[in-house]
Amino acid sequence: MIGQARRLAAGGRIDRSRPISFRFDGRTYGGYEGDTLASALLSNGVTLVGRSFKYHRPRGIYSAGIEEPNALVTLRGGGRHEPNVPATRIELFDGLEAQSQNRWPSLRHDVMSVVGHFPKALGAGFYYKTFMGPTRRAWMFYEHFIRKAAGMGDPTFAPDPDRYEKAHAFCDLLVVGGGPA
């Protein structure tokens, strides 16, 4: 497939006779059946796949398994929105749309990466000391921005489009046999 100069010529657990196209951060890439999103991105030369949670430092793919700490992406398309999925867990399929997380406006040019230039001012727990202010209102004002800057993917509030064989219900407190109170 064109543009996969970093892929080995032979071997692996992919079917080279079945090419697949997918999108990552709005750009179209190619892979093969049996590829994970992580392996396809690496074969296409994409090494920057995310940013660290607090300081927005550049992150690449660190492992080949489900324990991947850096390459968390959001899956989109087909009425679905699933954040915080490790790229090493996603098997490629036609029409896959993935988006990097914890960056704005783009992964390569993240505005919040500037916080890395102020390590002394932004030490561990800086938000517990710096933004408290004389009243509780100060913290309530800054908390929104701090949580937006440090975090994972955005959750969806749309209904789940999938259908399931079983549904499990849970409750926080169940009283059985209370009798007449």
pLDDT in tens, 107-129: 999 988 888 777 777 777 766 66
Cα 92 from Cα 30, distance rounded (Å): 10
Domain chopping of the chain, boundaries: 15-149
Distance in Å from the first CA to the final CA of the chain: 72
- The answer, as to whether pTM is greater than 0.85, is no
- The pLDDT confidence band at residue 145, using thresholds 50, 70 and 90, is confident
Token pair of 70 as six digits: 């850096």
- The pLDDT confidence band at residue 28, using thresholds 50, 70 and 90, is very high
- Per-residue model confidence as pLDDT tens digits over 36-58: 999 999 999 999 999 988 788 89
Query: What architecture is domain 15-149?
Result: Roll (3.10)
Listed as own residue / partner, the contacts of 40-48 with beta carbons closer than 8 Å and 24 or more positions apart are 40/92, 41/71, 41/87, 42/6, 43/4, 43/6, 43/7, 44/3, 44/4, 44/6, 45/3, 45/5, 45/6, 48/107, 48/108
Q: Give yes or no for a contact between 28 and 87, defined as CB atoms under 8 angstroms apart.
A: no
According to the model, what pLDDT value does residue 151 have? 66
